[in-house]
Structure 1
Amino acid sequence: MPGLFGVCDYTHKLNLATVAEEMKKILSYHSFMKTEAKSAPGMIMGKISLGLKSEDDSVHQIEGLILAWHGRILNSELNSHIPRGVELLELYRKHGSDFVSRLKGSFAVAIWDSRTKSLTLGTDRFGTRPLYYFRNSDNFSFCSEIKGFLALPGFGPKINYTALAEFLSFGFLLENKTLFEDVALVPPGSVLVFSPDRFEIRRYWKARFSRAIPGFNRKSATEECHSLLERAVQNDLEGSEAVGLFLSGGLDSRLLAGLAAENGRKIETFTFGTPNCMDGYLASRIADSLGISNRYFRLSPDFLANWGERGIWYTEGMSNCLNFAGIEVLPEVRNITPVVMNGYGGNEFLGFLSGNLAKFYFRGRLDTLAKDFYSSLAYLFSEEDKERLFTPEVYREMRGQAFQGIQEVLSKCQEETPFSRLYNFMLTQKARRLNLLGIIMDHSHLEYLIPFYDYDWTEFALRLPEKERLWARFYRFFLSEKFPVLSRIPYQRTGLPVNANLMSILGNKLARKIGLDLSDRCLRGKTASYAEYPHWTRTELKSFILEILNPANLSTRDLLNLGYVQELLNHHFAGALDNSSKIGLLLTFEIWHRQFVRRKFPG
């Protein structure tokens, strides 16, 4: 996977060259990837790249400094004719570790300073290029992927049962945890400095949603939003000859397609799903309206049997393997264009058309927010489920931890209202710890562009009044004003045009509950989901599931109540309950345990 790696060994007990070679072997798992490393006494660091012409894939070593960086840095004042790494070293000389706060973009950076024997790690404001660290009494290591630490002699980490409880409850981890106790993420918007006598993590920026802008005017805000997003897309498109876009029936990707078309770029768009899904139909209509091409990939019902282990290796056990739809198309997409834009973050900034979030706008209370939100978020394994799933010894380690995690995260939010605190959660937790993993999976083959995380635009978006995020009011108005043709095409979530009024949207939602469908006629009879997991897990994937979760094969059997696992499977296969999401989580945990604990790496 593209990214950074490094080991700092003050005791000089390690053969750093050997360790680095093993790290490169684990991290560079495609022939098109390139690797480079540079060393100094007690230190080695390197970079894995996708082998693209537009990448600065060098590790720079100048006058006692070594620098490696990963991602995209978009500061307009930097000289495009000088290698970006050389300029970053100059900024470090001038400003020290504070230089990270002056950067704009999607990046992770590492600098070793031989004069002070110190290591500096930096992340962008939103943590869009993950960087993990591990330290013990002898050394400090960092890597863009946890699996890199498996190359360290004596690395014998312990399962983080708090993180596991969160994963099984919500489908993702909170804050900066990983499934290992001694491995953590460098927080977003942070600088980490390590030396023999110092370990410090300093946050230079935190996301905060404003409650209101005095004198807010929707028309003028639309113009400002359009100008900033237009510039963000233009910045991302510059320097890339061919760019693709994963296009669905949602709002985020259609908006990016419209902005790219305005920019004069004929981008390639890609859609995947089942033959009769809404996404395929709507993406085709969106592409046709913009005069751009759309390639449709039909998902294989048994894709998980062929790609599941690889997907868990890419996402390191932190994403339900049922989220891997589309993984099988990555090699073909790379052959067409190795750089893709992604609509990651659009809803988190501009608003969700969500009744669940809306109820907290009208009736939310700060004193009961954690309890009320937890009850709606923990829809996978309940506390009672986890008690039945694990042995008593394991359950004692995780009892109540998922709820406590929600309490801690929400208590740290600076927003004044329940509604805005939940938006902060959706941005800083769910988007960063779950949605980003889908992009990380794509990054195994493709470079990613995320215009919705442009710094100038996000500063505007964070200032939107919260009532404009309610029911995605501003988002739908913006699309209607600036892209009227796109706004007349139905939205996959509602089945109605984006510019439909709120009463029509809510009316159709109520009608569906009593068996009526007021959706656009062209969508009637089409499936809302791009994948048919309940059916596939009972048919094409059944033998795969039974093989992995066979008690005789389970790597995790000493941790689990095997009778309860069998009960889940029996109810699902009999059609009594839809346990597909729970089964996906169990498959993920079992395969992750084999790969990362038992070290049975995928071929």
Structure 2
Amino acid sequence: MSVFCGVVGLSGQNVEREGLDLEKKFVDQCTEKQITTKINVGNVVVMSIDIGAHSSQYDENDDIITIIAGDPVVREVSDDVSADLNLLNSASNEELLLALLMKSRGVFAGISINKVTNSVYIYTDKSGIRPIFYSINNDVLIFSSLMSVIQQTTLISLEYDELGVLETMAFGYCLANKTIYKNIKRLNQGEIISLNERGLEFQTYWDWSNVSVDKNIDIPNMYKEFKEAIALRSEGKEKAVAFLSGGMDSRAITAQLNESFDELHTFNFATERSLDGECAKLFAEKAGIHFHEKTFKELAYPNWGQLIADGIYEKDLGRIKKVWSGDGGSVGVGCVYLDDKMITLLENNEIDTAIKYFIHKTKSNIPENILLRTQRKDAMSRFIDGIRKEFVENKEDPGKAIYYFLMNNDQKRHLQHHFETICEHEIEFLLPFFDANFLEKTYSTPIREMLYHRVYCKWFDFFPASSRSVPWQTYPEHIPCPVELPEGLSNQWSTTRKISLNTRWFDVKSYLSIKNKDNIHLVMDRNKLMIATVLHILFVKDYSHIFRKIRRLK
């Protein structure tokens, strides 16, 4: 299964009419694809569209019906997701279902309907990577793995959340369970909605802050868990397709895949004459891997799923629906965005100073100078307060608070655009860096040991020799690559930005395409934006940073 949505009558009422409304919007948002599953049981209507990446079967006569988007990886041996569905369909009560969810390792979202106990359970994975959005209105719960479906339905009236809009401009995503709408929320990591004889409940079945920090870092076991994460997601051994950048994350994955699969095809999408493309190519040649590259003059805000779907088609690789991706490695293991100063501030309990330093370091500020006067008054204090609420205390390792913040927010939302457009590109990502058992090892590692890719580099030493024999890209201020890098090539972290007329016109066009959206003018001064636009296009002043933030609202 890939995407699903549904409605539940919270008082046991029939919701067939609401289901028909939702069905129309669901099909519209899924590029007119055919609904493959529709279930109407009592006060529940659920429907799904299957792109064929993971096989799925159900029998409407079963006592328990489970629909899954993604792959839960509850199984203990390599197999298809259908093995997990069988396990979930055997969970005859809430206790057994929760036990399976706590055992899960994958990236997934799902709904289980128990017709015997008249219970409904809606849940997401331990890190909340696979989204579920929901809204409660007029005693009806509406939910969907696609936010656009709930946005478009007539069952709710939308109202913008000012803080959600500000957070999206600053980070590119909202914090916690917020969206840019007050009445649409997103399930948090390890969260489950239950509707049973007790009524409607929100529970947390998994909490990463409960993982104890262990000063004895077991790097060999980290490597073992990662290998196992890949093995459990490997269906067959004939052909695999993976992203291959010039960095360490995708190389770690492809090095393992190269030992397991008969045929491995890798794709690189980079700008012209870049370290990313050259380092990827050098490794592919050394490892004897099929390498396909496509270069661009600029590569801003791409849809990676669509890029690789097009690449698979152009290279005539057959019906490939699952692609290996290194998402999650740089933040989860390499601790990018963090440094010693930030950790020291947290260890000294200087939380607000640490937050302000993080905002400055990551350029995640809100554009106060062009906000409405009513917003400027307390926008920054509300913004910082929202961040502070996401800093989970860890008495064993106070610096870990910023790691929780990034994993529970930045990483949780990192692939939202990919999942939102999955009906267009029809690609499921296989994400071993988000494997829950592997993540337990990173959550248990002291934060200072993880900074600057310290633990990552020690872990990387366990990988096949070919992965370390040719150069790779490294982050600024992180442990440098010990192999000499090619000269005269650009890297993705270059601070210089060519300010051309085309660049500025792209900024302005991006704004003009969304300037009539209410969410912008809910917080931003229309007149000041117009002045900034004119000054920007005339080269009087560079407002690129403002337009980058505005684009995030598109």
Q: TM-score, normalised by structure 1?
A: 0.79
- Corresponding residue of 1:527: 490
- Corresponding residue of 2:90: 90
Report the residue type matching 1:406 in the other structure. I
Q: Distance in 2 between matches of 1:152 and 1:133?
A: 12
Report the residue type matching 1:293 in the other structure. H
Q: 1:59 to 1:241 in 2, by over 3 A?
A: farther
Residue 139 of structure 1 and its aligned partner are, at CA, apart by 0.7
Residue 266 of structure 1 and its aligned partner are, at CA, apart by 3.1
- Corresponding residue of 1:545: 508
SS at match of 1:62: coil
Q: 1:35 to 1:451 in 2, by over 3 A?
A: same
Residue 213 of structure 1 and its aligned partner are, at CA, apart by 3.0
1:343 aligns with 2:314: no
Alignment of 1:188-207 (within 5 A): 188-194=189-195, 198-207=199-208
1:429 aligns with 2:403: no
Q: Distance in 2 between matches of 1:361 and 1:134?
A: 37
Q: How high is the sequence identity, in percent, across the aligned residues?
A: 18
How many residue pairs end up in the alignment?
A: 541
- Corresponding residue of 1:142: 143
**Gaps in structure 2 of 5+ consecutive residues:** none
Instruction: Between 161-170 and 240-249, report the one with greater CA deviation.
Output: 240-249
Q: Distance in 1 between matches of 2:254 and 2:213?
A: 30
Find the partner of 1:324 among 292, 302, 309.
Answer: 302
Instruction: Between 96-105 and 390-399, report the one with greater CA deviation.
Output: 390-399
Find the partner of 2:350 among 368, 386, 393.
Answer: 368
Preserved CA contact (<8 Å) 2:192 2:203:
yes
Residue 121 of structure 1 and its aligned partner are, at CA, apart by 0.9
Find the partner of 2:288 among 286, 291, 307.
Answer: 291
Preserved CA contact (<8 Å) 1:191 1:201:
yes
Alignment of 1:161-560 (within 5 A): 161-194=162-195, 198-208=199-209, 213=214, 215-216=216-217, 221-239=218-236, 242-299=239-296, 301=298, 322-324=300-302, 326=304, 329-335=307-313, 336=317, 337-352=320-335, 356-362=338-344, 364-377=346-359, 380=363, 382-383=365-366, 385-386=367-368, 388-393=369-374, 398=379, 400-410=381-391, 412-414=392-394, 416-433=396-413, 435-437=414-416, 439-440=418-419, 443-444=422-423, 445=425, 446-494=427-475, 500=481, 520=484, 522=486, 524-529=487-492, 534-535=497-498, 538-539=501-502, 542=505, 545-546=508-509, 548-549=511-512, 558-559=521-522, 560=524
Instruction: Between 225-234 and 453-462, report the one with greater CA deviation.
Output: 453-462
Preserved CA contact (<8 Å) 2:39 2:47:
yes
Preserved CA contact (<8 Å) 2:336 2:452:
yes
Q: Distance in 1 between matches of 2:36 and 2:140?
A: 22
> For each residue in 1:489-516, what CA deviation from the matched residue of structure 2 results, as whole angstroms up to 9, or x when unmatched?
3332358997757xxxxxxxxxxxxxxx
Residue 6 of structure 1 and its aligned partner are, at CA, apart by 0.6
Preserved CA contact (<8 Å) 1:8 1:43:
yes
- Corresponding residue of 2:133: 132
Q: Distance in 2 between matches of 1:240 and 1:397?
A: 57
- Corresponding residue of 1:5: 5
Preserved CA contact (<8 Å) 2:283 2:470:
yes
**Gaps in structure 1 of 5+ consecutive residues:** 304-321, 502-518, 592-603
Q: Distance in 1 between matches of 2:244 and 2:515?
A: 42
- The structure with the largest helix share of the pair is 1
- Corresponding residue of 1:28: 30
Q: 1:86 to 1:364 in 2, by over 3 A?
A: closer
Preserved CA contact (<8 Å) 2:109 2:125:
yes
Q: 1:398 to 1:359 in 2, by over 3 A?
A: closer
> For each residue in 1:175-206, what CA deviation from the matched residue of structure 2 results, as whole angstroms up to 9, or x when unmatched?
11111111111221122113586221111211
Q: Distance in 1 between matches of 2:175 and 2:493?
A: 27
Q: Distance in 2 between matches of 1:73 and 1:550?
A: 39
Q: 1:188 to 1:108 in 2, by over 3 A?
A: same
Q: 1:265 to 1:184 in 2, by over 3 A?
A: farther
Q: Distance in 2 between matches of 1:92 and 1:375?
A: 49
Q: Distance in 2 between matches of 1:442 and 1:228?
A: 30
SS at match of 2:91: helix
- Corresponding residue of 1:306: none
> For each residue in 1:309-344, what CA deviation from the matched residue of structure 2 results, as whole angstroms up to 9, or x when unmatched?
xxxxxxxxxxxxx43364652441352432111112
Q: Distance in 1 between matches of 2:418 and 2:514?
A: 33
Q: Distance in 1 between matches of 2:520 and 2:212?
A: 49
